[in-house]
């Protein structure tokens, strides 16, 4: 299974990155502690998040569900979206078309 998209890939990664930033413990995906994460400068954290977005896009091409810290990602092929549940009260929808 591969993710189908017609939007520019960079735009999708930008939105996916912003959604992942809202997961309070997304750094756990990198097996980092909160102390290690907080020691990073903002540009370093931005690179990590962008890399995570790219990795999650790839993972969702193999499996429709993935975890990032306490967050959940879901590829909905029928609707052409990636749903990022950052918390029980915050869900991002990233359109792929």
pLDDT attached to residue 1: 67
Does a structural domain hold residue 2? no
Does a structural domain hold residue 1? no
Count of domains observed in the chain: 1
- Tell me the per-residue pLDDT of 48-68, one tens digit each, with 9 for 90 and over: 999 999 999 999 999 999 999
The predicted model gives 15-34 an average pLDDT of 95
Does a structural domain hold residue 40? yes
Does a structural domain hold residue 4? no
Q: Residue 82 to residues 23, 51, 63: CA-CA distances in angstroms? A: 15, 17, 12
pTM of this structure: 0.91
- Edge-to-edge strand ranges of the sheet holding 81-87: 65-68, 71-76, 81-87, 90-95
- Tell me the per-residue pLDDT of 67-86, one tens digit each, with 9 for 90 and over: 999 999 999 999 999 999 99
| 90 pLDDT tier (thresholds 50, 70, 90) | very high
Residue 65 domain boundaries: 9-95
| 2 pLDDT tier (thresholds 50, 70, 90) | confident
């Amino acid at each position: 299974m591969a993710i189908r998209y017609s939007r520019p890939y960079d735009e999708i990664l930008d939105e996916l990155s912003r959604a992942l930033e809202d997961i309070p413990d997304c750094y756990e995906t990198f097996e980092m502690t909160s102390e290690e994460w907080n020691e990073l400068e903002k540009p370093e954290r931005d690179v990590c998040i962008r890399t995570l977005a790219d990795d999650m896009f790839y993972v969702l091409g193999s499996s429709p569900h993935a975890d990032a810290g306490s967050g959940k990602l879901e590829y909905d092929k029928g609707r052409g979206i990636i749903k990022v549940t950052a918390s029980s009260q915050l869900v991002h929808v990233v359109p792929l078309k």
